[in-house]
């Protein structure tokens, strides 16, 4: 199927993918008086006395903002906020279909850190959580760090931590399938933007033996010149052996390749230089770093990509619906590394993996249910300890 052509036809026909529907009837004068004036004044007065009642007297408890400036849309780059809308609408329907959360796309006309932080702070009273999306690095790191400190509702950047969680889940299932251990793995991540750095941080927290990040200038190591603050920070936590050189040399002796960069840069020769039966996760879109048939030919044990038309899709859509549903239900307001790991393990263990079905599909209802149960358990344990 020509998905590009068919998708354009769909969006022209439906004029987007979302709409707002009423929960209550408006068929009579009494209906209108209850839902709006004069009856609604009493509801406003109640919330005025206790702002927390906005979670029970309005839709706020089921409402998430999807905030984007359109500077890092999929693999397409900076196309602007208007061009980000189709992606944000897509995330909104995934939220609704899989977690029954009302997610509102808010694509804003600024790329300034202060503007985006202020915007999110200003809209906080209307939402129970904020999902940052498609905001380019390195600004996205500062925005997330600021909002996590300055807001009282959970904030999650899907391009960072959603990708990290689902990547860890894929590695967990590859280890289950081939009887490997996480702490024995030497991983090379190609791409040191939002996703690559977040993946590296979570894999380090998970206890992997070695994590090496590679960007367009080669392996990142402590002391490498001309790195920004974010790369300098991750350099101090990764690549303990201080590997230097390009992607090919960095992969020698590695067990896992993770690609969050650009298509067609991983070769069969590079895979042959890795340890026997490596795990290959070539997640660039729309073209993976290497196609699965070529990776298997070079000796890969298992291959995952970001594409839905190939086996073993490694997709953030498995993360954010259940994560936000769990956050909203449990009342957890901070997505800690421990929570990210718990979500990854929950997703991984929602199926018994096979070589061609390494990951659950987004239609597997156990994924969302499992994440909600895990987060509820974490919150209950925390409450008991306190």
pLDDT score of 356 more than 80:
yes
pLDDT digits (tens, 9 = 90+) for 162-205: 999 999 999 999 999 999 999 999 999 999 999 999 999 999 99
pLDDT score of 301 more than 90:
yes
Whether residue 24 lies inside any domain: the answer is no
Identify whether residues 251 and 189 lie together within a single domain: yes
Percent pLDDT > 70 in the chain is 100
- Known binding positions: 133-134, 159, 285, 315
pLDDT score of 2 more than 90:
no
Identify whether residues 133 and 239 lie together within a single domain: no
- Known binding positions for (S)-malate: 285, 315
Which residues are annotated as catalytic? 36, 91
pLDDT digits (tens, 9 = 90+) for 303-320: 999 988 899 999 999 999
Number of CB atoms found within 10 A of residue 382's CB: 11
- Known binding positions for a divalent metal cation: 133-134, 159
Whether residue 18 lies inside any domain: the answer is no
User: Pick from 153, 187, 220: which residue ends a domain?
Assistant: 153
Identify whether residues 88 and 190 lie together within a single domain: no
List phi, psi (to 5°) of 195: -70, -50
pTM for the model: 0.93
Whether residue 22 lies inside any domain: the answer is no
Please tell me the predicted confidence (pLDDT) of residue 74: 82
CB 327 within 8 A of CB 335: yes
For residue 123, the domain's CATH number is: 3.40.50.10380
Closest CA to 177 of 348, 317, 315: 348
C-alpha–C-alpha distance, residues 54 and 356, integer Å: 46
Please tell me the predicted confidence (pLDDT) of residue 190: 97
Identify whether residues 135 and 66 lie together within a single domain: yes
β-strand partners of 68: 107
Whether residue 13 lies inside any domain: the answer is no
Identify whether residues 182 and 133 lie together within a single domain: no
Identify whether residues 140 and 196 lie together within a single domain: no
User: Pick from 273, 305, 337: which residue ends a domain?
Assistant: 305
Closest CA to 136 of 117, 103, 159, 161: 159
pLDDT digits (tens, 9 = 90+) for 19-72: 999 999 999 999 999 999 999 999 999 999 999 999 999 999 999 999 999 999
User: Pick from 118, 153, 188: which residue ends a domain?
Assistant: 153
pLDDT score of 151 more than 80:
yes
Please tell me the predicted confidence (pLDDT) of residue 382: 83
Identify whether residues 337 and 294 lie together within a single domain: no
Whether residue 14 lies inside any domain: the answer is no
CB 312 within 8 A of CB 357: yes
pLDDT band at 286 (very low <50, low <70, confident <90, very high): confident
């Amino acid at each position: 199927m020509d998905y590009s052509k068919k998708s354009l036809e769909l969006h022209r026909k439906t004029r987007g993918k979302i709409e707002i529907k009423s929960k209550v009837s408006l068929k009579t004068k009494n209906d209108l008086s209850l839902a709006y004036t004069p009856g609604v004044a009493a509801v406003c007065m109640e919330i005025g006395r206790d702002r927390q009642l906005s979670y029970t007297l309005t839709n706020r408890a089921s409402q998430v903002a999807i905030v984007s400036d359109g500077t890092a849309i999929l693999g397409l780059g900076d196309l602007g906020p208007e061009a980000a809308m189709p992606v944000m609408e897509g995330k909104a329907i995934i939220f609704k279909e899989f977690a029954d959360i009302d997610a509102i796309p808010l694509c804003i006309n600024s790329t300034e850190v202060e503007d985006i932080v202020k915007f999110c702070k200003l809209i906080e009273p209307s939402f129970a959580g904020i999902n940052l999306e498609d905001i380019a690095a390195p600004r996205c790191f500062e925005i997330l760090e600021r909002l996590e400190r300055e807001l009282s509702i959970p904030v999650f950047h899907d391009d960072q931590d959603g990708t990290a969680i689902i990547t860890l889940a894929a590695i967990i299932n590859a280890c289950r399938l081939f009887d490997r251990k996480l702490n024995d793995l030497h991983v090379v991540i190609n791409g040191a933007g939002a996703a690559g750095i977040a993946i590296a941080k979570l894999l380090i927290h998970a206890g992997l033996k070695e994590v090496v990040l590679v960007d367009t200038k080669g392996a990142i190591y402590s002391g490498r010149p001309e790195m920004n603050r974010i790369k300098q920070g991750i350099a101090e936590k990764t690549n303990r052996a201080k590997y230097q050189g390009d992607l090919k040399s960095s992969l020698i002796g590695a067990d896992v390749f993770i690609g969050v960069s650009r298509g067609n840069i991983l070769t069969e020769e590079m895979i042959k230089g890795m340890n026997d039966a490596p795990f290959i996760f070539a997640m660039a879109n729309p073209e993976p770093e290497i196609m699965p048939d070529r990776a298997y030919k070079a000796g890969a044990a298992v291959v995952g990509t970001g594409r839905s038309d190939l086996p073993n899709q490694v997709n953030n859509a498995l993360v954010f619906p259940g994560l936000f549903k769990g956050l909203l239900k449990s009342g957890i307001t901070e997505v800690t590394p421990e929570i990210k790991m718990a979500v990854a393990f929950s997703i991984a263990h929602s199926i018994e993996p096979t070589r061609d079905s390494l990951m659950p599909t987004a239609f597997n209802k156990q994924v969302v249910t499992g994440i909600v149960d895990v987060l509820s358990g974490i919150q209950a344990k925390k409450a008991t300890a306190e």
